[in-house]
C-alpha cells in the first residue's frame, strides 16, 4: 500500500472510521506503515478485523471497534476503548460514509436523513467524543469530503448536502479548536479505483466519462488519498488548519473537456 516506510507518525494513535474497506482501509494501513497505532471503527466487526490483521502482519498495532457513528453512546464507547488500549488519541479520521444513487424526487425523507446522519452527524459525533483526548496532546482531525457539491451532481443531492456540511464543520472546528491545539482539515477525493463507492456509483459508461473529464486521464488510487492523509496528519502540515485538499487529478476544475 505504501511506497515508503517512515516513522513520521511514530508514537501517534489514530482512529479511522470506515476503516474496514475502501479509501479508509487504505488510509488506516498507510498511517500504520508510517508508525501510528491504528484503531478502525465501523458497523461490522469482520472487515475491521481484517484491516487489523494486515496492520499486525506488517508489524504494527491495531484495534477493531464495532460501532455506528450515528449513535453517540457507541461513539463514546469506541473512543474510550481506543484510549484504554493505546493510552491516547492523536488523530481522528472521519471517513464513514453512506451513499447510493437516487434522484431527489424519488428519495424518501429517511433516505436523505440517513446519509446526513452517517456522514455529517457522524463526523460531528466522533469529533465531539474525541475532543478532550485530541486536546490532551495536540491532535488532528481529518474529514473525508468530496467534490460533488462544488457544482450540482444528479442523484447525489443527499451526499452533496452532507459533504458540504462536512466542509463547513471542518472550517468551524479549525477556528474553534485550533487555539486549543487541534488542527482540523479535510480531503476531497475524486473518483478512486478499487472502492465500493466507485464500482457501484460509476459503472461502465459513467466511468469512461469521468476519466475523459479528468485532466490526468485516469481514476485515482487509494494510496494517493492515503499519502495526502499522512501529510495532513503529520508534522509536515503543522501550520495547515481548516484546509480541504482536493485529490482528484484536477477533475472538478474541468468545465469543458478537450476533445480526444
Strand, helix or coil at 194?
Answer: coil
User: Does residue 2 carry a catalytic annotation?
Assistant: no
As measured in angstroms, the least distance from the Cβ of 32 to ligand HXC is: 21
Radius of gyration of the chain (CA): 17
d(C-alpha 39, C-alpha 36), whole Å: 10
- The closest of 256, 233, 260 to 134, measured between CA atoms, is 233
Considering 85, 145, 199, 234, which one is annotated as catalytic? Answer: 145
> Which of the residues 156 through 175 are near ligand HXC (CB under 6 A)?
159
Please enumerate in sequence order all residues whose Cβ is within 8 A of that of 256, keeping only pairs 6 or more positions apart, or say none: none
Residue that is written with C-alpha cell 500504520 in the block: 32
Residues 94-133, one symbol each (x = binds ligand HXC by CB under 6 A, - = not), give ---xxxx-x----xx-xx--xx------------------
Instruction: Please count the residues of this chain forming the interface with ligand HXC, following the rule CB under 6 A.
Output: 17
User: Does residue 145 carry a catalytic annotation?
Assistant: yes
> Which of the residues 24 through 83 are near ligand HXC (CB under 6 A)?
none
Nearer to ligand HXC, 68 or 223 (CB): 68
As measured in angstroms, the least distance from the Cβ of 138 to ligand HXC is: 29
Residue that is written with C-alpha cell 453517540 in the block: 72
Burial classification of residue 38, based on how many CB atoms lie within 10 Å of its CB (0-12 exposed, 13-18 middle, 19 or more buried): buried
Catalytic residues: 145, 163
Positions touching ligand HXC (CB under 6 A) are: 97-100, 102, 107-108, 110-111, 114-115, 146, 148, 159, 196-197, 201
Amino acid at each position: 500500500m505504501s511506497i515508503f516506510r517512515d516513522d513520521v507518525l511514530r508514537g501517534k494513535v489514530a482512529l479511522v472510521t470506515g476503516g474496514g474497506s475502501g479509501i479508509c482501509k487504505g488510509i488506516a494501513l498507510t498511517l500504520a506503515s508510517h508508525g501510528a497505532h491504528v484503531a478502525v471503527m465501523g458497523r461490522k466487526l469482520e472487515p475491521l478485523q481484517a484491516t487489523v490483521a494486515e496492520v499486525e502482519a506488517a508489524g504494527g498495532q491495531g484495534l477493531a471497534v464495532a460501532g455506528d457513528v450515528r449513535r453517540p453512546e457507541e461513539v463514546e464507547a469506541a473512543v474510550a476503548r481506543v484510549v484504554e488500549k493505546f493510552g491516547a488519541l492523536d488523530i481522528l479520521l472521519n471517513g464513514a460514509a453512506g451513499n447510493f444513487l437516487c434522484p431527489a424526487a424519488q428519495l424518501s425523507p429517511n433516505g436523505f436523513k440517513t446519509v446526513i446522519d452517517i456522514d455529517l452527524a457522524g463526523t460531528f459525533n466522533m469529533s465531539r467524543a474525541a475532543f478532550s483526548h485530541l486536546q490532551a496532546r495536540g491532535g488532528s482531525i481529518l474529514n473525508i469530503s468530496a467534490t460533488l457539491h462544488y457544482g450540482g451532481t444528479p442523484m447525489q443531492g443527499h451526499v452533496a448536502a452532507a459533504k458540504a456540511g462536512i466542509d463547513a464543520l471542518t472550517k468551524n472546528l479549525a477556528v474553534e479548536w485550533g487555539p486549543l491545539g487541534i488542527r482540523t482539515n479535510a480531503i476531497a477525493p475524486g473518483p478512486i479505483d478499487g472502492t465500493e463507492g466507485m464500482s457501484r456509483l460509476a459503472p461502465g459508461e459513467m466511468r469512461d466519462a469521468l476519466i475523459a473529464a479528468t485532466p490526468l486521464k485516469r481514476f485515482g488510487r487509494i494510496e494517493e488519498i492515503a499519502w495526502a492523509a499522512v501529510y495532513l496528519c503529520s508534522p509536515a502540515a503543522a501550520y495547515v488548519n481548516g484546509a480541504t485538499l482536493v485529490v482528484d487529478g484536477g477533475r472538478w476544475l474541468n468545465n469543458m473537456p478537450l476533445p480526444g
